[in-house]
Structure 1
């Protein structure tokens, strides 16, 4: 069974991302086309990148890196839930991505973003990072705006049309994850 990790990319207290990630997970796990798991960065306590050797060498030294690598390595693809901070993604998410290399390779990634303009600029940055990590980023994405998809900018109330958009992201992520399987096997 194809395994898709839904990564909650914010560690900020009071984060909107927790409700968004749970929404993604609740919808995804009803589908039956893959095994989905919610991965919360708060559960991994990654410090600012502290590995002396570049991740592309695959010589991880720290227990927190090894734990993170095992988790990310267990998936065939990802849906990343990202906020937009200052026209980019969160520092915590970028740091978590930068810890690893091979564990991301030849896997698909879809994006669900939120922010004042739907988090679109954060996703554009993440697409560049995904390319360097040899990930296939899918075309569809969900962009949630603080004005229309959150009540008082904090209570998540997505429109029904967002569910359809999420379905497309999940369809594409699962399809590409399966298509890339032969590359991961070699």
Structure 2
């Protein structure tokens, strides 16, 4: 463990037509301004199969090479920022599967969220919090929820396709709060794990 936290910014949508890249790049730049090593992690790059192990890796090692590669990547981080799409009031199936493919690698680590959609993925974020409890993770109180008019303004299908900087006034303060809380929780969990 190093004294400088390693933070993974995880893109949770794997759809070809996803919107996630725009807010992911925005929060990645904000995270790089912290005293962290930050890396963008795209679930799409890992080609994870549906979870099919005899048990969680909390109980026995995984056998699927893709799952093991994913676990090894997640293990390198001290905290996470999940860039959340909301599908049917929940997280994406791809994210749920990715969470299930690891267990011990998530334990006792902190995370924050950047959600987007009609209600800013607030329901997905709340669902992620219940999953995070089972994974023994610490969630920040604050999150970034890009919804309503802000979402329409920056989304290409909203026909405005404005840059993220155009909505900075409404989401910037929540991003700052989430990042500050993530810094505190990440350093606290790093110290406790150490």
Q: Which moved more, 1:12-21 or 1:50-59?
A: 50-59
Deviations 1:93-116 (A, max 9, x none): 011001111100010010110111
Is 2:85 the partner of 1:80?
no
Q: CA RMSD in A?
A: 1.5
What residue number does 1:10 align with? 13
Q: 2:158 aligns with which of 145, 150, 153?
A: 153
What residue number does 2:178 align with? 169
Mapped partners of 1:156, 1:44: distance in 2: 30
Q: List alignment gaps of at least 5 residues for structure 2.
A: none
Q: Helix, strand or coil for the counterpart of 1:122? A: helix
What residue number does 1:178 align with? 187
Mapped partners of 2:40, 2:174: distance in 1: 19
| Within-5 A mapping of 1:26-175 | 26-29=29-32, 31-145=33-147, 147-149=149-151, 150-151=154-155, 152-153=157-158, 155=161, 157-158=163-164, 159-161=167-169, 162-175=171-184
Contact 2:11-2:82 within 8 A present in 1 as well: yes
Q: Name the structure where helix makes up a greater proportion of residues.
A: 2
Q: List alignment gaps of at least 5 residues for structure 1.
A: none
After TM superposition, the runs of 4+ consecutive aligned structure 1 residues lying more than 4 A away are: none
Q: 1:25 aligns with which of 24, 28, 39?
A: 28
TM-score where L is the length of structure 1: 0.93
Q: CA deviation at 1:146?
A: 5.2
Deviations 1:71-130 (A, max 9, x none): 101100001001011100100001100111110001001011011111100000000000
Mapped partners of 2:108, 2:158: distance in 1: 36
